[in-house]
Amino acid sequence: MSYEESIEIYKEFLICDYLNSYILNNLSLYLKYEYENNQEKLDEYKSSISEILDYTSLEKKEINNLLVDFIDQKIKTQEVELRYEDVKKKIRKLRNRSHYQIEEAILDHQRNLREKLEKIPNTLEKAENLLLGLISVFQKYPFFFYDQVYDAIVLLKDKIPSSIIKTIKNHWEDELLYHIRSSRPSNIFWNSELYHEIDDMISRYRIKDQFKIEDFDLVFKEVELEIEEFLLEIRNESVGSFDLWLISRSLELSNKIRGISTILKRIKSQQYKEGFWGSWIVGIENPDIRLTALNSLILLKLSPYKELRKLGIIGAKYLRKNQNSNGSWTFQFYNKDREIKRRDDILTTIICLEVLRRSGLEKLEDVLEKGEQWIESQQNQIGLWSNSSFHPPFLSVLILEYFKNKNEFSNQLHIYQDDLTPENIIFLGMKKAVEISKNCVSEENKISPKVGALIIKNGEIVIETFRGETSPGDHAEYIALEKKGKDLNFKESILITTLEPCTKRSSDKIPCARRIVEAGIKEVWIGMHDPNPHITGKGVVYLTKNGVSVGFFPPSIIEEIKTINKEFWDSKIANYYENKTDNHFDIMAVKKD
């Protein structure tokens, strides 16, 4: 059985989940509270169930017969309502109840589907395909899923149709309409479970930002203010660190939230000289591996100053020394008797691995290999990763993100506030590249990006160029490497460009990312990602996978580049939503020999 088949099997598995829920919840509530006064609506429920069955291989006639029995049983059965003091008895009754025949038929079918999934060997590719199946079902029944499905869509953005964004916008509009009718004061129109408010805000913010979803600006402005207020009020260090780590998953949000520097200072003040952060358990300060991993990663990702990044590296050294023999890292917690317990933990381990890759420490190969092997060994029988503390598919998304981006983590460059001076050749190069880009002129009947690029060798700028300087349509990197620099040796040189290098060209041309690798460039600094969600990030992945270190311009300069390229940006997004494709050759779609 192929991995591709796992998508269809998992889709049907999830649809059966939805079918069961629809019958036991939606239909049951209607029969209990509305049927007597609105019997005509029963046909609508039957029609919806029939439509859902069309997406499964369940025997339709058998299920319809069982559905008739279920409806008759529900209508005829007058259950006695238990008093408030009998709640425990009521819960026991619900837990111990026998399944309805229709429920058992669907569950039996799901068990068969599960067995098929379990026969497919567990790999990262299988997990990715299962998420694609989940996203496909989400497109049909968006209200059935937790908001963390948005994280899966961001992860797999280059493998899903642009129509999924129309589904999301329609779903949000339905939620907003219901919210308005409910006369609630907040602009935030979705409901979140207790303790998952921040998770949901960030999941929605990330997809809004990734796919440039418009029409909800006021809502997400309130999200920014809510998160900002939450961070400033937080008193529990471990909770604050967890939420700040979630925020760090959105660069756009991280750049907009005030007060992050205050929290970074607090994190700095609470680190022990050994490198760990502690949590109070039973009146004693204990080294806390997860808190140490969270704080170290926050410092490595969000620190505006070198001094703070160094503290993250010290934390990484502590984590390296405290890896378990099986490759995992430990999470500590209270049990019901208020005793300290510890367990090998998937979330803690994946965060520790990212910390170590971002730290730049040497001789980590064995540590990373053991940790990654342990993570892969924790894939469940279906092929995903799960944890009761997180809504699905969040943990699976985190793991697949790590394996997709681990080379980028290991080869990431940083520019700090300390570096933003005219004396710094990298910062000077960034400013020059932006100015050069303003010379670009679009080709006829086309909106082209305004791209400036330059090359630094031995601490000096040796080449400056812009897109189209030598001929209409010539990419800036191509001009720098093949035309202006055809007689130069670029080994150990630095390339600065205002737009992410392309990985996709027509078959008679070489993509710029490949030219950069083949030229021996050691560092690339990038202004903005390509705005097309099907392409964005691919240049970075290709470069880092091939050993090139990559860094990004400071946020203020990125905004300037976006302003200069607004017309291009808007046109690329429009093309994406119109599902326009081309026949260009994509080096990211070809496996290396």
Q: Give the pLDDT band of residue 572 (cuts 50, 70, 90).
A: confident
pLDDT on residue 95: 56
Identify the active-site residue in 237, 354, 372, 477.
477
Round the average pLDDT of the chain to a whole number and report it: 90
With a CB cutoff of 8 Å and minimum separation 6, the contacts of 223 are: 188, 201, 204, 205
Q: Taking a C-beta distance cutoff of 8 angstroms, is the pair 219, 189 a contact?
A: yes
Buried b (16+ CB within 10 A) or exposed e, 361-386: eeebeebbebbbebbbebbeebbbbb
At 270-296, the pLDDT tens digits run 999 999 998 765 555 689 999 999 999
Q: Give the pLDDT band of residue 575 (cuts 50, 70, 90).
A: confident
Q: Give the pLDDT band of residue 88 (cuts 50, 70, 90).
A: low
Of 47-56, 264-273, 336-345, 409-418, which gets the smallest average pLDDT? 336-345
Across 196-218, average pLDDT: 94
Q: Which CATH number fits domain 417-589: 3.40.50.300, 3.40.140.10, 3.30.1120.10, 3.30.70.1520?
A: 3.40.140.10
Q: Taking a C-beta distance cutoff of 8 angstroms, is the pair 468, 475 a contact?
A: no
Judge whether residue 344 has pLDDT over 90.
Answer: yes
d(C-alpha 332, C-alpha 340), whole Å:
7
d(C-alpha 289, C-alpha 277), whole Å:
8
Let me know the angle formed at the C-alpha of 290 by 284 and 291, rounded to the nearest 5 degrees. Answer: 60
If DSSP codes are grouped into helix, strand and coil, which group holds residue 412? strand
Across 466-471, average pLDDT: 96
d(C-alpha 124, C-alpha 116), whole Å:
17
Across 535-541, average pLDDT: 91
Closest to 12 (Cα-Cα) out of 153, 148, 149, 130: 130
- The strand pair at 452-457 and 494-499 is best described as antiparallel
With a CB cutoff of 8 Å and minimum separation 6, the contacts of 315 are: 271, 275, 276, 277, 292, 293, 295, 296, 299, 355
Q: Give the pLDDT band of residue 339 (cuts 50, 70, 90).
A: confident
Judge whether residue 350 has pLDDT over 60.
Answer: yes
Provide the residue ranges of all domains of the chain, joining segments of one domain with +.
Answer: 3-120, 417-589
pLDDT on residue 32: 87
Q: Hey, how many other C-beta atoms are within 10 angstroms of the C-beta on 251? A: 17
Half-sphere exposure of 428 (CA within 13 A, CB side): 11
At 404-420, the pLDDT tens digits run 999 999 999 999 988 99
Let me know the angle formed at the C-alpha of 383 by 198 and 374, rounded to the nearest 5 degrees. Answer: 80
With a CB cutoff of 8 Å and minimum separation 6, the contacts of 64 are: 50
The token pair that represents 468 in the structure block: 């189209």
At 418-453, the pLDDT tens digits run 899 989 999 999 999 999 999 999 888 889 999 999
First to last CA, the chain: 25
Closest to 367 (Cα-Cα) out of 334, 408, 329: 329
Judge whether residue 235 has pLDDT over 90.
Answer: no
pLDDT on residue 574: 80
% of residues, the chain, pLDDT over 70 = 92
Q: 3-class secondary structure for 350-408?
A: HHHHHHHHHHCCCCCHHHHHHHHHHHHHCCCCCCCCCCCCCCCCHHHHHHHHHHHHHHH
d(C-alpha 267, C-alpha 298), whole Å:
9
pLDDT on residue 593: 37
d(C-alpha 52, C-alpha 124), whole Å:
30
pTM value is 0.90
Q: Give the pLDDT band of residue 332 (cuts 50, 70, 90).
A: confident
pLDDT on residue 238: 59
Q: Taking a C-beta distance cutoff of 8 angstroms, is the pair 495, 477 a contact?
A: yes
Q: Taking a C-beta distance cutoff of 8 angstroms, is the pair 172, 189 a contact?
A: yes
At 355-385, the pLDDT tens digits run 999 999 999 999 999 999 999 999 999 999 9
If DSSP codes are grouped into helix, strand and coil, which group holds residue 30? helix
Max Cα–Cα distance, the chain, nearest Å: 89
Does the annotation mark 477 as catalytic?
yes
> Which residue carries 């017969």 as its tokens?
65
pLDDT on residue 230: 86
Q: Hey, how many other C-beta atoms are within 10 angstroms of the C-beta on 36? A: 9
If DSSP codes are grouped into helix, strand and coil, which group holds residue 469? coil
